[in-house]
């Protein structure tokens, strides 16, 4: 895959990967849990030379002496894991076509939150319960940037 685009939730930061995507992985370490505000980080490696910030650029937090973590300074979306001089990891779910990027490896699995492995066994709402939500969902006006490069996108302020 190449020519992949993505960005943060508000659209202030957008990127394009002009080269091939590298290895995609899930990291269960405590720092990824914190940085993503979720049970794990999902990241894919790309060559820094193949990454172009097409709108804005992430702010960065040095989570250790070895790693900077990039995020949107406006909306907080986690975007990067910067650990190497030539390689950068990007958050899989920040890509416009996140579904196409499949992790092939888990890292630091001994730190995984104990309920993660059972997520697929959790109950789901019935179709009737979901239908009841539709009236509410019809009132939602999204301020999230769409999953494509929207030149006309008005940055919500």
Backbone φ and ψ of 130, nearest 5°:
-65, -40
Among residues 6, 10, 25, 89, the one that binds Zn ion under rule CB under 5 A:
10
Non-local (6+) Cβ contacts of 148 within 8 A are: 5, 96
Instruction: Give one word for 116, left, alpha or beta, with left for phi > 0 and alpha for psi -120 to 50.
Output: alpha
Give the nearer residue to Zn ion in terms of CB position, either 2 or 38: 38
**Around Cβ 103, how many Cβ atoms within 10 Å?**
16
Among residues 32, 44, 72, 112, the one that binds Zn ion under rule CB under 5 A:
72
Token couple for 124: 């789901």
Shortest reach from residue 77's CB to Zn ion, in Å: 5
Shortest reach from residue 84's CB to Zn ion, in Å: 25
Shortest reach from residue 75's CB to Zn ion, in Å: 3
Is 96 within 8 Å of 147 (Cβ atoms)? yes
Among residues 74, 96, 108, 149, the one that binds Zn ion under rule CB under 5 A:
74
Q: State the alpha helices, DSSP H only, in 95-139.
A: 127-137
Which H or E run includes 111? none
79 binds Zn ion (CB under 5 A): no
Site string for Zn ion, 94-123 (x = CB under 5 A): ------------------------------
Which of these segments, 11-19, 80-88, 115-123, 148-156, binds Zn ion (CB under 5 A)?
11-19
Shortest reach from residue 4's CB to Zn ion, in Å: 18
């Amino acid at each position: 895959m190449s020519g992949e685009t993505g960005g943060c939730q508000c659209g202030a930061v957008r990127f394009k990967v002009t080269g091939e995507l590298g290895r995609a992985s899930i990291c269960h370490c405590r720092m990824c849990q914190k940085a993503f505000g979720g049970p794990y980080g999902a990241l894919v490696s790309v060559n820094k030379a193949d990454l172009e910030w097409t709108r804005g650029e992430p702010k960065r937090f040095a989570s250790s002496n070895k790693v900077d973590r990039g995020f949107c300074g406006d909306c907080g979306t986690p975007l990067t894991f910067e650990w190497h001089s030539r390689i950068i990891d990007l958050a899989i779910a920040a890509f416009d076509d996140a579904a196409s990027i499949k992790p092939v490896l888990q890292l630091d699995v001994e730190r995984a939150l104990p309920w993660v492995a059972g997520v697929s066994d959790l109950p789901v709402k019935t179709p009737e319960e979901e239908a009841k939500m539709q009236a509410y969902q019809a009132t939602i006006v999204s301020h999230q940037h769409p999953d494509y490069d929207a030149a006309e996108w008005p940055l919500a302020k």
